Amino acid sequence: MSWLWALVLAILALALILLLLRWFGQPRAGWEAIAAALLLGIAGYGLQGHPGMPGAPKASAETSAPNSPELVEARKALAGGGAGGETNNKWSIIADALARHGQYADAAGVLLGAVDKNPRDADAWLALANALVGHAEGSLSPAALFAFRNAATVAPEHPGPPFFLGLAMAQSGRFDEARTIWTELLARTPPDAPWRPDLVDKLQRLDMIVARQNAMQGMPVGQPGTMP
């Protein structure tokens, strides 16, 4: 009976997604990828699922990722800083709704259709990078790094790619690289830019984390960098 329910839910999910894409007037090119993802999920359940096994509730790794809605809103706030594409396109509306609920894999699937349709959409590349980082539970995967680099290439002046790349590196423990990226971004950020206070705050927090780690390891603690 569990197999039947899984199949019914997959069909309903596919029908809902295709209905939304058709309603938003999106081309059929991305439909096959979504259908393939659902079929792959069903196949994985068929190979590894154990319907008769007693349940052991556990929080989903993706949905437990911190501040999903806040990350979406932060990216949208930075989009006005130089995004080179359709920052409010219909693809992003669907993907952002999925990301807000921690459904990063589904969001990434939708955004792949967005960058396929318009490779010059820096905000779509950035949203894809963030979705991939969320899917990897905060780790910076090669695929996410590729998306970040494409976003930066499309819109070199867009503050979003270095801002969120630095955040992903800091979450991955790559503090020196994160600080270098954020320091360079701060140097070219206008004094009245709305995202500047948040950037300064993150740099200061990063300095505190590094200083605390050095102190715990018995290493000499250097003077944290001075914030401009």
pLDDT tens for each residue of 59-70 = 333 333 444 566
pLDDT higher than threshold 80 for residue 75 = no
pLDDT tens for each residue of 21-57 = 666 565 555 556 666 665 656 655 555 555 555 554 4
pLDDT tens for each residue of 22-31 = 665 655 555 5
pTM: 0.63
CB-based burial label for 131 (10 Å; 0-12, 13-18, 19+):
buried
Least confident of 10-14, 102-106, 115-119: 10-14
Backbone angles phi, psi at 168, to 5 degrees: -65, -40
- What gap in Å lies between CA 211 and CA 205, rounded to an integer? 10
- What gap in Å lies between CA 226 and CA 185, rounded to an integer? 15
**Two tokens at 46?**
């068929």
Task: Look up residue 97 and give its amino acid.
Answer: A
Signed CA dihedral, 144, 150, 151, 152: sign only = positive
**Two tokens at 167?**
């955040």
